[in-house]
Amino acid sequence: MYVVCSKHLEDAIEEFIEAYEQPPDLYELDTITFTEWTTPSCCHYCDTNPKYLIV
């Protein structure tokens, strides 16, 4: 599972496919709410605010 900014979205998808050999589900962080999980404050690859959740 990754949270990434829009700039690193493609990197995260490629990494996910390499790791799990299937395409990830993609969610926009703005459109979902978490109850038991706090959204990480920065992208998996950089310090930018994350925009997408990849699972």
Interface residues with Zn ion (CB under 5 A) are 5, 8, 43, 45-46, 48
Cβ proximity to Zn ion: between 18 and 21 the closer is 18
Cβ proximity to Zn ion: between 21 and 26 the closer is 26
| Residues with Cβ within 8 Å of residue 46, at least 6 apart in sequence | 5, 7, 8
Q: Which residue is nearest to Zn ion (CB)?
A: 43
| 28 DSSP β-pair partners | 52
Cβ proximity to Zn ion: between 16 and 21 the closer is 16
